[in-house]
Chains A and B, each alone.
Chain A
Amino acid sequence: MADKRMTPDEIVAELEDGMTIGIGGWGSRRKPMALVRAILRSPVKDLTVVSYGGPDVGLLASAGKLKHLVFGFVTLDTIPYDPWFSRARESGSITVTEYDEGVFGTGLSAAAQRLPFLPTRAGLGSGVMDLNPSLRTVRSPYDDAEELLAVPALKLDAAFVHLNRADARGNAQYLGPDPYFDELFALAADKCYVSTEKIVETAELTEAGPVQSLLLSRMLVTGVAETPNGAHFTTAVPDYGRDERFQRHYAASAKDLDAWPEFVDRFLSGDEAHYQKAVAEFGESA
Chain B
Amino acid sequence: MSDISRAEVAVVACAELFRGDGEIVVSPMGFIPSLGARLARLTFEPDLLLSDGEAYLMTPDAVVEGWQPFRKVLDTVVPRGKRHVVMGANQIDGEGNQNISAIGDHSQPKKQLLGVRGGPGNTANHRTSYWVPRHGKRVFVDQVDVVSGVGYARAREAGLRHHDVHRVVTNLGVLDFGGEDHAPRLLSVHPGVSVDEVVEATSFPLSTGGVTETRLPTESELLLIRTSLDPKSLRDKEVPS
The chain A residues found within 8 Å of chain B, CB to CB, are 26, 53, 71-75, 80-81, 85-86, 89-92, 95, 98-103, 105, 120-131, 146-147, 177-181, 184
**Contacts of B147 on A, CB cut-off 8 Å?**
125-127, 130
Q: How far apart are the CA atoms of A85 and B33 in the complex, in Å? A: 28
* Contact A26 B70, CB 8 Å, known A89-B109, A103-B121: yes
B75 within 8 A of A: yes
Q: List 28 A-B contacts (CB under 8 A).
A: A72-B117, A73-B114, A90-B111, A91-B108, A95-B107, A100-B119, A102-B120, A103-B121, A121-B124, A121-B162, A122-B78, A122-B120, A122-B121, A123-B124, A124-B160, A125-B155, A125-B158, A126-B147, A126-B148, A126-B149, A127-B99, A127-B147, A128-B116, A129-B158, A131-B106, A177-B56, A178-B70, A180-B69
Interface centre among B74, B109, B117, B162 (most CB of A within 10 A): B74
Residues of B within 8 A of A127 (CB): 99, 101, 106, 116, 120, 146-148
B116-160 CB contact bits vs A (8 Å, 1 = yes)?
Answer: 111111011100000000000000000000111110001101111
Which chain A residues lie closer than 8 Å to B44 at the CB level? none
Contacts of A74 in B (CB 8 A): 114-115
Partner pick for B112 among A26, A90, A95, CB 8 A cutoff: A90
Q: Which residues of B contact A128 (CB under 8 A)?
A: 116, 120
Identify which of residues 88-114 in chain B touch chain A, using a CB-to-CB cut-off of 8 Å.
Answer: 99, 101-102, 106-114
Query: Cα distance A131–B115 when bound, in Å?
Result: 12
Complex Cα distance A92/B105, Å?
11
Given contacts A80-B114, A125-B124, A125-B157, contact A102 B150 (CB under 8 A): no
Is B211 engaged at the interface, CB distance under 8 Å to the other chain?
no
Question: Which of A72, A127, A179, A181 has the most B CB atoms < 10 Å from its CB?
Answer: A127
Which residues of A are found within 8 Å of B148, using beta-carbon distances? 126-127
CB-based nearest B residue for A108: B71
Judging by beta carbons under 8 Å apart, are A180 and B108 in contact? no
The CA-CA distance from A181 to B72 in the complex, in Å, is 10
Which residues from B are CB-within-8-Å of A184?
Answer: 71
Verify if B181 is at the interface (C-beta below 8 Å from A).
no
Question: Does B191 touch A at the CB level, under 8 Å?
Answer: no
